[in-house]
């Protein structure tokens, strides 16, 4: 097996299954080196890519227009490739258990079109054991081939940070693993074609799977600690951001901040780890506690909104609340598992139906995911409360005169500003007389 050489000599192709925030940058990067088939079940998405439009905003329309990726929604085209990378989402169910339907579905598709001598690499986040215990049997059943004899398997967890223009695919060290020494080296050499930062080889697929869920669980726990501090400091009347900035002057401070922890990684991966641990008889204490804290931050922010409205002499049920941002993080159009939705849900319990503005989010996605009709910022007037929920550049760059223009014509002391991400200058806000609160 020498797929690395065959790819370079264009005797075979590489396929990328799942062209979302993770899969698309990988496909475009590899297309600069080898022939790439980009497959996705979503025909509308494929048509956008063919037209040179990037709905993810991860690499931009210009890169899509110039890429040599062969986009298709025809699964039979996968038979032209022998190196397959699966990068589909792995969400959770309503009961917080892993939803493996996407990765199982992708395994079925690849299995039906798998040929002898192929390597299949999974990038989707899973708990240790999924690749070997769940995916391999599907590939074997659908292909009629034997893993280890007719094809090889590997795992290389995705580490792409959506919306991050600094830490990109090429400059993030890639963890790689294979089912044996031969497949590990083949997989490592292929990824080294596009990963400038280099690859980190691990001894087994399970180690690679574990590394992914653990690195995100670690971040989740650290943010949960900061969120717990924020809730306590709020009761003490202490500004959390000022405390954190003071703490960060020490050389070994970790520089985490409180916030809403959503998205398809940090807000999901810990549940994958906990799920497998509980199957083995261990019940998590720290990880689940962190998840409980972070899952409750939307309600905490909503409570702060209500308190500030009351203190500003507003009739809560009649208050006009405007939420700025619905995506799970700044400068990213991804609305999946956004904890801003939890703020909205909690406000709904007080009969408040907030208006939601987000210049980055896809309106159709917001409607489909949360039943929210996004409005344009230009249409906002007579607001009682502005909630800066996501730190998009568009919101960070707003002038105070523009902010004031969104409120009604009443005294600034009755204008409530909730600054979840701490993007505004607190001193200026208070000098201008606003009723200001930040997490």
Distance CA 410, CA 416 (A): 11
How far apart are the two ends of the chain, measured CA to CA in Å?
Answer: 55
CATH hierarchy code of domain 204-295: 1.10.1040
E-strand ranges in 202-320 read none
Which residue ranges in the chain fall short of pLDDT 50? Answer: none
Distance CA 403, CA 247 (A): 31
Query: What would the DSSP string read from start to end of 156-180?
Result: ------TT-SSS-GGGSPEEEEESS
Query: What would the DSSP string read from start to end of 221-233?
Result: HHHHHHHHHHHHH
Fold entry, domain 296-439: Rossmann fold (3.40.50)
Task: Choose the catalytic residue: 135, 147, 265, 332.
Answer: 265
**What pLDDT does 334 receive?**
86
Distance CA 405, CA 415 (A): 11
- Looking at residue 134, the DSSP 8-state letter turns out to be I
Q: Which helix (H) or strand (E) holds 190?
A: helix 181-192
Q: Is 135 a catalytic residue?
A: no
Distance CA 124, CA 231 (A): 34
38-83 pLDDT, tens digit per residue, is 999 999 999 999 999 888 877 888 989 999 999 999 999 999 999 9
Instruction: Please state the CATH superfamily assignment of the domain spanning residues 3-201 in this structure.
Output: NAD(P)-binding Rossmann-like Domain (3.40.50.720)
**What pLDDT does 163 receive?**
64
Distance CA 44, CA 136 (A): 30
Phi, psi of 427 (to 5 degrees): -60, -45
Report if pTM > 0.85. yes
CB contact burial 342-380 (16+ within 10 A = b; e otherwise): bbbebbeeeebebbbbbebbbeebbeebbebebeebeeb
**What pLDDT does 324 receive?**
97
Domain ranges in the chain with CATH number 3.40.50.720: 3-201, 296-439
**What pLDDT does 168 receive?**
73
Domain ranges in the chain with CATH number 1.10.1040: 204-295
């Amino acid at each position: 097996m020498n797929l690395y050489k065959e790819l370079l000599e264009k005797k075979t192709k590489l396929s990328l299954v799942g062209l979302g925030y993770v899969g698309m940058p990988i496909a475009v990067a590899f297309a600069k080196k080898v022939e790439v088939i980009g497959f996705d079940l979503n025909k509308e998405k494929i048509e956008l890519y063919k037209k040179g439009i990037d709905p993810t905003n991860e690499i931009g329309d210009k890169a899509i227009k110039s890429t040599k990726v062969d986009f298709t929604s025809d699964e039979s085209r996968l038979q032209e490739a022998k190196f397959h990378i699966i990068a589909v989402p792995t969400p959770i169910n309503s009961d917080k258990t892993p939803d493996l339907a996407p990765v199982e579905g992708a395994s079925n598709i690849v299995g039906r079109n798998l040929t002898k001598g192929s390597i299949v690499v999974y990038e989707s986040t899973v708990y240790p054991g999924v690749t070997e215990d769940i995916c391999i049997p599907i590939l074997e059943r659908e292909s009629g081939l034997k893993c280890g004899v007719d094809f090889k398997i590997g795992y290389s967890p995705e580490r792409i940070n959506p919306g991050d223009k600094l830490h990109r695919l090429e400059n993030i060290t890639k963890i790689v693993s294979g089912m044996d020494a031969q497949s590990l080296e083949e997989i490592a050499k292929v990824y080294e074609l596009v990963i400038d930062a280099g690859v980190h080889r691990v001894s087994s697929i399970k180690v690679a799977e574990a590394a992914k869920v653990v690195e995100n669980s670690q971040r989740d726990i650290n943010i949960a600690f900061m969120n717990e501090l924020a809730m306590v400091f709020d009761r003490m009347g202490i500004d959390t951001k000022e405390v954190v900035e003071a703490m960060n002057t020490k050389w070994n401070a970790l520089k985490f901040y409180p916030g809403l922890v959503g998205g398809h990684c940090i807000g999901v991966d810990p549940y994958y780890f906990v799920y497998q641990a509980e199957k083995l008889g261990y019940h998590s204490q720290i990880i689940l506690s962190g998840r409980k804290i972070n899952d409750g931050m939307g309600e905490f922010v909503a409570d702060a909104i209500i308190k500030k409205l009351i203190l500003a002499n507003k009739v809560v049920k009649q208050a006009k609340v405007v939420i700025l941002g619905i995506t799970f993080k700044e400068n990213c159009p991804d609305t999946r598992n956004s904890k801003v939705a939890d703020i909205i849900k909690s406000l709904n319990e007080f009969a408040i139906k907030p208006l939601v503005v987000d210049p980055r989010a896809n309106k159709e996605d917001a409607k489909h995911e949360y039943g929210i009709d996004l409005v344009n910022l230009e249409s906002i007037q007579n607001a009682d409360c502005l909630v800066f929920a996501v730190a998009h550049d568009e919101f960070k760059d707003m002038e105070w005169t523009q902010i004031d223009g969104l409120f009604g014509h009443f005294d600034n002391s009755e204008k409530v500003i909730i600054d979840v991400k701490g993007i505004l200058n607190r001193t200026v806000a208070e000098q201008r007389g606003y009723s200001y609160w930040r997490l």
